[in-house]
Amino acid sequence: MIIKKKIGKLFRSERGETSYINSYVYILVTVILIVFVINVFHIISAKQEMDHIADQLVKQIQLNGGTNSDTDDLFDFLTGQISNVQNLDYQVTSTARVNKIQIGTPFYVTITGRCNLGGMWNFNLVTINLQAVGAGVSEHYWK
């Protein structure tokens, strides 16, 4: 309670008694908060990009009726544009074989990756696992 009164008194004071140390601490705390907010926005942006990749893979698998080398090429191309996300991988699950999904059969695409919340010098303090899921139904008829 005493500290709270002293801080309140210091802020209300018009004599300008703040020291260089106080100014330095205020600036340091402000910079750390700004860096933290920027890192959080980077993680949110990476999650949105992963959601977009999942949607694109769902569209490609719907039209082709399954996975093939084109699916891998599309995934590699789209993930090449995401920065600071490690271990990006995708998995397709279905009740049928994933390379030949019959028309009307549902399937799911799951993309996983890891992102680090680390501060100014990328200390990698906290590792965050990101996951994006997409769902679709095959539009290809296999004879």
**Domain limits, the chain:** 43-137
Which of these, 95, 105, 97, 107, lies nearest to 141 by C-alpha position?
105
Predicted local distance difference test score (pLDDT) of residue 18: 65
Residue 6 has pLDDT above 80, yes or no: no
What is the token pair recorded at 48? 């949105």
Handedness of CA 107, 54, 113, 119 (dihedral sign): negative
Is the Cβ–Cβ distance between 101 and 56 less than 8 Å? no
Q: What does the alpha-carbon distance between residue 138 and residue 126 come to, in Å, rounded to a whole number?
A: 39
Average pLDDT over residues 79-99: 90
pTM of the entire predicted model: 0.78
Higher-scoring residue by pLDDT: 54, 95: 54
Provide the strand spans (E) within the chain: 86-94, 106-117, 126-137
What CATH number belongs to 43-137?
3.30.1300
